[in-house]
Structure 1
């Protein structure tokens, strides 16, 4: 029994554990970086396209982004925050998302690779990528706001 306890204790010391504020900051940062990546794909595709009304595409993407943000991503952010905020002890650095979300990310990444290499015209993909990218950035604001509130509480 003591031998097993010592082994578990040693393994726990190796776990990269951080407090909830760090997890919230990591989550928000990853959402921002993912949004910027998608927006850069969209920008690159739009830049290559000819005879396109950029303002029309940006407007459509922005309206879609607001809908995705409000009806989709905010629910995910709130679910993650409800899980992270009550934590008092340090948690593994990778626990800013639950395991189901990691599976979702893998599926979305493969789907993104598939559609980027498909015959779907890039102009259509640029609208979708811009909308999802903007929605990710908009939704990350909640993570950052909560993080900043927790920093103020500490002062």
Structure 2
């Protein structure tokens, strides 16, 4: 007995949209958490920590999340035109996400001052948001290419 008929299959473009949306949502959530932590202190100190997070986000995008997004885009491009919705990230990435969630829970409940955690949350949140645009850019290319060929309807359904 196989369960392949239960697999939610979608056109490949939805995998790029799902990846971008997930990265954006997590990045926004992390940024909002950091803002909440930084708004408890003085304005000048909060801005300094936010700036430190923004500065750290640059190498995080360049050598971290940007490379991960590009690697995932290459993987998604090799998939068939229709695939399982949950393939928007590799199975190993699901394990990494679980570890990162556990680490986040641990850090939020640790004795580390929240303004220091806000720097890391800002850096990672901004890097995720910027990384999500790699997916959106590729999705836009797919849609443009399909519309030139007259296959936009096939691309989205």
Instruction: Calculate the TM-score normalised by the size of structure 1.
Output: 0.89
Partner of 1:69: 61
Following superposition, the deviation at residue 56 of structure 1 comes to 2.0
Identify which of 88, 94, 97 aligns with 2:80: 88
Runs (4 or more) in structure 1 with deviation over 4 Å come to none
The gaps in structure 1 that reach 5 residues or longer are: 1-6
Partner of 2:124: 132
The count of residues paired between Structure 1 and Structure 2 equals: 147
Instruction: Calculate the TM-score normalised by the size of structure 2.
Output: 0.88
Question: Is residue 142 of structure 1 aligned with residue 142 of structure 2?
Answer: no
Range with bigger deviation, 12-21 or 118-127: 12-21
The gaps in structure 2 that reach 5 residues or longer are: 148-157
CA-based RMSD: 1.3
The residue correspondences of 1:1-155 to structure 2 (distance < 5 A) are 7-8=1-2, 11-50=3-42, 52-155=44-147
Following superposition, the deviation at residue 110 of structure 1 comes to 0.3
CA distance in 2, matches of 1:120, 1:112: 12
Rg larger in structure: 1
